[in-house]
Amino acid sequence: MNLSTKPSRHPSAKPASKSNRQVNAAAIPSSSAQLVCAGAVFLAALLLFSWTLAPTVTLTDSGELVVVAQGLGVAHPPGFPLWVILAHLASLVPLGNVAVRINFSSALFAALASAILTLVVAELMITAAYLPARKGGAQQRKRAVDSGIDRLLVFAPALGAGLLMAFSRTLWSYATIAEVYTLNTLLILIVFFLMVRWRRRIIADRREKRGPVTIHDSWLYAAAAVFGFALGVHHVTVGLILPALAVVVYRTEGLRFFTSRRLVYAALISLAAMVAVYAYLPFAASRSPLINWGNPRSLQEIWWHITGRQYRVFFSFSPTMMGAQFIEFCRMLLREFGPAWLPLPLVLAFAGFATAYRQDRTTFWFLLFIVIANLAYDLSYEIAEDKDAYYLPVFISIAIGAGLGIRWLIELTAVKSISLGTSYGVAAIAVLVTSATAFAGNWPFNNRRHYFIAHDYVENLLSGVQPNGLLLTQDWQVASPMFYAQQIEQRRRDVKVVDVNLLRRSWYFDYLRRTYPDLIERSREKIEMFVEDLKAWERDPAEFKSNALLTQKISTAFLEMIQSIVTNESAVGPVYMTRDLLLPDTTNGAVTQWLTQSYQLVPHGLVFNLTRDSRFHDSPDVQLETRGLADGSVRFEKDDVVNLKILPGYTSMLINRGRYLAAFNQDWRAIIAFKEALILDPNLAAAREGLAESTAKLPSP
């Protein structure tokens, strides 16, 4: 046998005797027992995820994704076609609102992912029984078999790892909302399971000197097919597991596999599965759905969409940026499986990695390459609000490592203890403590049972807009849930919501044309002039980047289009904008400058009303619904989008309202606004200053 195909072992280890191998093989738990173990994890996870499920739409991409899934449209790059198809089927289930149906599909995928991870760890534990023992391992293994804990060495690590993954911060958080990442995690773990099962079958046959290993290639080809389908969800994180899979193949079959037809067959199967899934994009685009992001009909447009060309600007190999990203990753890792001050699962994972290095080098390199490949990409990519999801493969690797650590703990106890009950006790404690640590640490942040943040935010925004008003925004936390509110729940269809950033995408004008045809018609001339330049830019951005005249031309056309839309819509209804358009932004700086110079910004609830004159414009005091925002029913980390964007959206507009009222001597009403801001955030210096100034202006009692 080629040395590269032999399972790794400690240099001083002696081959296990034939009798020992037979004993261990006979002691392997049955497939039905493994399924029972995985089933228990699945039920526990599904019950937890269902109980903590968000009752409606949430922030970031969820609003857009629900609308896309319900209408079989095209989502933002890379399109996530497999997720869209499955989520569409979930949207047809007559259970609750559309958002809840798709939220539950995320819970189902996450529960299945936790169960499959349980099977992955069980396979790795079973494979360990076939490997040559390291020094002192024969006595340890004999003691394990003689004492009857061989099944414990499989079930306890598998259960511990499965529950740890279910209770982890990131997977649990995405299991309660409409997002693509739980399906992505499930498919990655199915690939892992099929590959480690393939490896285990080959190793077992070699140990027992049975027939050719190629009889087990059905597992390999099934993994290739699932890998291809998985590329139709979030292909970046899926593609990054390839080095780890190559390690498993190389350590199992050697270099000869990579020069064989088996590799070609596997590659073709993956390619066929991927093409079949991505064929959805041009099919969906041809139907002109409501959200048809990128309108991917031609081969070039499909390629642009799949490769996410618009996101390339977020790549950077700056040491400063990568260092900051790494520090942020470490902070996420410390809280992933429980409180940062109690990193017990991480300690077990470290022990598990060390044990794998000594006992099963293939598993060690497999897990390590998952981490290395994932971090190599993620640290060079400036990810937005869902950055934690990109690290899910790393968290999977660590959860598996923690399972290996539980096995190490049990083996250590089995060698030093004369009591079978002690080993069972240690196993139970290890599983319960690690899972309880993760559960207790993450429950306050992942319980979205009363999560109405996005729903209330949209409702509060719309309450400040008069009938037939135009609302300009560049905040995705406004635009995305607004898609759901207007298109699925049919709320305030009279309000014309325009995302200024999306106006830089030609497909968005098709959406506006279908949703607000009168708006497009009133500014048709300026819109058509800009869209013509925009399509030229989309075809060749480099030409515009290298040509100052073209850049100036398209920038001027963009500003003139905005001016035309605002001017024409103000003739038929009021015009509003969200506070984010006032934030420093080089992209829309010219728009912000024109708006602030041409109009007085009058606070109306959470929006500004644009008025031509500078006199006082009264507006009724808005009763804001802020369930879960600051009442303690839902907790948020400092880097959560709620703390970064939503809460400042409320407090800053309340402060702006207080200042506006104070400027026109409406001090009693200004005090109310300042106090409302302080209720949401007691540490706001601007609100305290405004409150003090307005209070001082009141006449003495």
The domain limits of the chain are: 3-56+97-278+315-446, 453-605, 626-701
Given pLDDT bands bounded at 50, 70 and 90, which one contains residue 135? low
Q: Are 641 and 568 in contact (CB under 8 A)?
A: no
Give the chain's length. Answer: 701
For residue 603, report the phi and psi dihedrals to the nearest 5 degrees: -65, 125
Given pLDDT bands bounded at 50, 70 and 90, which one contains residue 12? very low
Mean pLDDT score, 399-421: 83
The pLDDT score that the predictor gives to residue 434 is: 94
Identify which has the larger pLDDT, 343 or 619. Answer: 343
Contacts of 674-681 spanning 24+ positions with Cβ under 8 A: 676/624, 677/650, 677/651, 679/630, 680/626, 680/629, 680/630, 680/647, 680/650, 680/651, 680/654, 681/630, 681/647, 681/651
Given pLDDT bands bounded at 50, 70 and 90, which one contains residue 453? very high
Query: How many Å apart are CA 278 and CA 281, to the nearest integer?
Result: 6
The pLDDT score that the predictor gives to residue 211 is: 65
The pLDDT score that the predictor gives to residue 108 is: 98
What are the DSSP calls for 566-635, one per residue?
HHHHHTTS-EEE-GGGGS--SSSHHHHHHHHHHSEEEEETTEEEEESS-S----PPP----TTTSSSSS-
Written as six digits, the tokens of 81 are: 């076609």
Written as six digits, the tokens of 161 are: 């790892």
Q: Is the pLDDT of residue 6 over 70?
A: no
For residue 497, report the phi and psi dihedrals to the nearest 5 degrees: -95, 120
The pLDDT score that the predictor gives to residue 384 is: 73
Q: Is the pLDDT of residue 137 over 90?
A: no
Lowest mean pLDDT among 30-34, 49-53, 273-277: 30-34
Lowest mean pLDDT among 25-39, 135-149, 155-169, 595-609: 135-149
What is the Cα Rg of the chain in Å?
29
The pLDDT score that the predictor gives to residue 19 is: 37
496-499 and 575-577 as β-strands: parallel, antiparallel, unpaired?
Answer: unpaired
The pLDDT score that the predictor gives to residue 417 is: 60
Strands (E), 309-458: none
Tell me the sheet residues that pair with 607. 604
Mean pLDDT score, 369-396: 90
Query: How many Å apart are CA 285 and CA 293, to the nearest integer?
Result: 9
Mean pLDDT score, 294-308: 91
The pLDDT score that the predictor gives to residue 180 is: 97
Written as six digits, the tokens of 176 are: 């309660």
Q: Which residue has the tokens 């209770």?
A: 167
Percent pLDDT > 90 in the chain is: 73
The one-character DSSP state at 255 is: G
Task: Pick from 13-17, 142-146, 353-357, 409-413 the range whose average pLDDT is largest.
Answer: 353-357
Query: How many Å apart are CA 134 and CA 15, to the nearest integer?
Result: 9
Mean pLDDT score, 14-43: 65
Output b/e per residue, 298-322; b: 16+ Cβ within 10 A: eeebbebbbebebbeeeeeeeeeeb
Mean pLDDT score, 342-346: 93
Query: How many Å apart are CA 559 and CA 135, to the nearest integer?
Result: 74
- DSSP-based three-state secondary structure for 681: coil
The pLDDT score that the predictor gives to residue 8 is: 40
- DSSP-based three-state secondary structure for 392: helix
The pLDDT score that the predictor gives to residue 138 is: 43
Residue 28 CB contacts under 8 Å (≥ 6 apart), including other chains: 126, 129, 150, 154
Query: How many Å apart are CA 560 and CA 429, to the nearest integer?
Result: 67
The pLDDT score that the predictor gives to residue 399 is: 97
Going across the sheet that includes 496-499, the strands are 496-499, 470-473, 575-577, 607-611, 600-604
The pLDDT score that the predictor gives to residue 671 is: 93
Q: Are 220 and 194 in contact (CB under 8 A)?
A: yes
Written as six digits, the tokens of 274 are: 């991927």
Q: Find how far residue 276's CA is from the centre of its chain.
A: 24
The pLDDT score that the predictor gives to residue 204 is: 86
Q: Is the pLDDT of residue 18 over 50?
A: no
The pLDDT score that the predictor gives to residue 418 is: 54
Q: For residue 27, which amino acid is it?
A: A
Written as six digits, the tokens of 66 are: 């629900």
Mean pLDDT score, 319-341: 90
For residue 593, report the phi and psi dihedrals to the nearest 5 degrees: -60, -45
Name the residue among 561, 587, 565, 586 with its Cα closest to residue 576: 565
Task: Pick from 237-241, 537-541, 629-633 the range whose average pLDDT is largest.
Answer: 237-241
Q: For residue 405, which amino acid is it?
A: G
At 470, which helix (H) or strand (E)?
strand 470-473
The pLDDT score that the predictor gives to residue 411 is: 85
Residue 428 CB contacts under 8 Å (≥ 6 apart), including other chains: 156
Given pLDDT bands bounded at 50, 70 and 90, which one contains residue 153? confident
Q: Are 113 and 182 in contact (CB under 8 A)?
A: yes
Written as six digits, the tokens of 327 are: 């520090």
The pLDDT score that the predictor gives to residue 419 is: 63
94 burial type by CB count under 10 A (0-12 exposed, 13-18 middle, 19+ buried): exposed
**pLDDT tens-digit profile of 634-643?**
888 888 999 9
The pLDDT score that the predictor gives to residue 57 is: 96
Name the residue among 184, 176, 248, 169 with its Cα closest to residue 8: 248
Q: Is the pLDDT of residue 15 over 70?
A: no
The pLDDT score that the predictor gives to residue 390 is: 93
Q: Are 105 and 83 in contact (CB under 8 A)?
A: no
The pLDDT score that the predictor gives to residue 16 is: 40
Q: CA of 609: how far to CAs of 466, 485, 495, in Å?
A: 10, 21, 13
Q: Is the pLDDT of residue 11 over 50?
A: no
Written as six digits, the tokens of 329 are: 């990753």
The pLDDT score that the predictor gives to residue 493 is: 95
The one-character DSSP state at 644 is: I
The pLDDT score that the predictor gives to residue 34 is: 87
The pLDDT score that the predictor gives to residue 142 is: 45
Name the residue among 262, 256, 123, 134 with its Cα closest to residue 200: 123
The pLDDT score that the predictor gives to residue 208 is: 75
**pLDDT tens-digit profile of 564-598?**
999 999 999 999 999 999 987 767 889 999 999 99
Q: Are 404 and 352 in contact (CB under 8 A)?
A: yes
Strands (E), 127-256: none
Predicted TM-score of the model (pTM): 0.91
Q: Which residue has the tokens 């325009």?
A: 498
**pLDDT tens-digit profile of 363-377?**
999 999 999 999 999
Q: Which residue has the tokens 């890792």?
A: 333
Mean pLDDT score, 88-106: 96
Q: Is the pLDDT of residue 24 over 50?
A: no
Name the residue among 515, 488, 81, 507 with its Cα closest to residue 283: 81
Query: How many Å apart are CA 89 and CA 112, to the nearest integer?
Result: 17
Please confirm whether the linkage preceding 11 is cis (ω < 30° from 0).
no
Q: Is the pLDDT of residue 77 over 70?
A: yes
Query: How many Å apart are CA 211 and CA 280, to the nearest integer?
Result: 42
